[in-house]
Amino acid sequence: MAVSLAMGGTSIAAKELKPNPGLVLKAIASVPWGERTLLRFYKRVYNRFFPRSRATTVFGASFDCEAGDLIQASILHFGLWEPHMTALMKHLIEPGTVIVDIGANIGYYTLMFSQLAGPDGRVIAVEALPRLAEYGRANSARNGATNVDVRGCAVAAQAGELTIYEGPQSNIGMTSLLPGAHRTGGAKVRAMPLDQVLSAQECADCSFIKIDIEGAEVPVLNQFLDQIDRFSRRPTLAVEATPAEDGAWPALFDRFVAAGYVPIRMFNSYDWLDALHYEDKPLEIVHSLPREQSDLLMVHPDNARAFATAMDLVLGRSGR
Q: What tens digit of pLDDT does each residue of 201-210 get?
A: 999 999 999 9
Burial (CB < 10 A; 0-12, 13-18, 19+), residue 129, is buried
Q: What is the DSSP string of 225-270?
A: HHTGGG-TT--EEEEEE-TTT-TTHHHHHHHHHHTT-EEEEE----
Give the number of domains in the chain. Answer: 2
In a domain, 319, yes or no: no
Does any domain span residue 126?
Answer: yes
Let me know whether 189 and 60 are in one domain. Answer: no
183: burial class by Cβ within 10 Å (0-12, 13-18, 19+)?
Answer: middle
Are residues 226 and 126 part of one domain?
A: yes
Of 92, 136, 138, 119, the residue nearest 237 (C-alpha)? 92
31 and 123: one domain?
no
Which residue has better confidence, 244 or 52?
52
Q: Is residue 7 part of a domain?
A: no
Could you tell me which residues come within 8 angstroms of residue 203 by beta carbon, excluding any fewer than 6 positions away?
195, 227, 230, 231, 232
Lowest mean pLDDT among 7-16, 26-35, 289-298: 7-16
Single pTM value for the model: 0.92
Q: Which of 80-89, 166-175, 286-295 has the lowest mean pLDDT?
A: 166-175
Domain that holds residue 64: 12-78
Distances (CA, A) of 60 to 9, 11, 84, 245: 11, 11, 18, 36
Same domain, 180 and 200: yes
186 within 8 A of 165, measured Cβ to Cβ: yes
Identify whether residues 132 and 201 lie together within a single domain. yes
* pLDDT at position 9: 44
Continuous segment of H or E residues that includes residue 25: helix 23-30
pLDDT digits (tens, 9 = 90+) for 52-98: 999 999 999 999 999 999 999 999 999 999 999 999 998 999 999 99
